[in-house]
Structure 1
């Protein structure tokens, strides 16, 4: 049965909405003149956002206000399985039991948390915390660039984008959850001992505002500066080796590589090896010598391979994902419940794994040790191949 929408007491397929023919007695199915430019395959949420008409009543709230899942075939407090009229109670979602035929009710459950130094996007993707509000859509859903505008005149920022009146600064009450409105520099002046600032000092109506040079960060006391250890960040600045120094860092490369553009490492000479999957085995081909070395034998022929140089770990896909650590005798399947993987790729900065499935119509990102994964794209796509290039994120 096709997905249904309601008009009064009548149910109609969602594809009948905005099709140029009135199917509801009150004509609400054709009130489309101002909706998304009148595009026949678009539907406008109550908040003004436009989504694909095929997303209506699919059990996923694509509108921020959830209006695309209102007036569907399922009664209130129930969720509809995509593609049919089956309705589920809210408690049936993420209960470990597959109720929808395509596993929809268990597919979008939270399974991982971001690492220290990372920030989680609205779509559950983890990015470097410093990438928030850098002017680049690193999340893919732009959630990292929301609430980033500077505060209006007469207001100051705190609590990751929240603005408060400047008159609330240093009034004795903690108006910001992080305490930034009551710093230790209240009532001070830069002309006296630099306002107590270890770095730069600026006079304000409420006291002094301290700041630090590049490579240093202001400490919780609001006055002193501490070194930023760039090498300990989840997304390090170097392609291979990183060495932290006070106020800065420098990059280095492992044997067989040379430093390029101060951060990247390139192979020296012809010391290039190619990872090959063929004839039910995984092997390495030395481009300079032409010597082929078998790493391990397997029961199936892989369709995609990837290698994490930093962790000396190999990944491949046949029907499911597999991981093989050099020195161990056998491989280990990753997320065996996830079938028919087409392509895999590795973020060599973080070790995070990405894969596609044209059967499930999703692109996923997951931890390489099998602790959990999330679906980062699963709408209107049939992915086949995937390449990750972290340097251009």
Structure 2
């Protein structure tokens, strides 16, 4: 009958960390988990560097990691929700320091002032003949007495020259990405609240939510393997272990209890549980057969345990001595009795 080499890690050479074993008739084959590739030895799994193939499909930067990869955009761009495309960042919308008007450029921004105001040497603030300034805006008057008023970013000028907050969330003008679960309006601005498993970037005006690599910190508290996924992660166990109800701890499987119709791990006689595996065992005088589950008689005589003669029997053996010798009480040693046969004496003469 076929031996299932995949049942016990000790009976196959497959990579049990990044791969798996598939039993076949009379043999077995090894495979690899996504993100890994089977090597020429047919057993080892190695990380696939997806960045070598068309830059991983990334617009700009491709960062290879163990078992997966990520796209990145660098300065002045941010990653689209497709995880590959880079979009130009609007620096004016993501925290510019302009006091009045901001003009977005590729990779930078420039500040301008409203009419009747002049840009200060620092290129950020505006100065002029201001009249009745308000906390969220200012006005300037020209020589004819005409006023020109403006509001700070995030506010809208009203007919009475007052400023009211713009609710970007309600108007749909916010820049929160698809990994944000909520847009929350604030005076003069808004906050993006990320989904579980995502973290708000400190760059790009805190508008982009990025996947948290939980496995990078203390292995995600997994006792064995941690597998990162988009927005989450999960723990995985090596062959011969199962994941406990806490989703993190790997517990040794007692195959001797779990496997086989009558327990004993499918062993015909006895079973010994090991960490991550198990072995079938036999009683004294028997050895494990080639199928690794059955027991067959051990021919102890092949090991020459007797001084003279060895007679094998099922599950045991006996020793005997040549003529003129007696078997010692240890059952193995032959002691000379001095009583040889007449034929032996004549031959000796």
What is the TM-score when the length of structure 2 is the normalising length?
0.25
What is the TM-score when the length of structure 1 is the normalising length?
0.22
Q: Which has the higher strand share?
A: 2
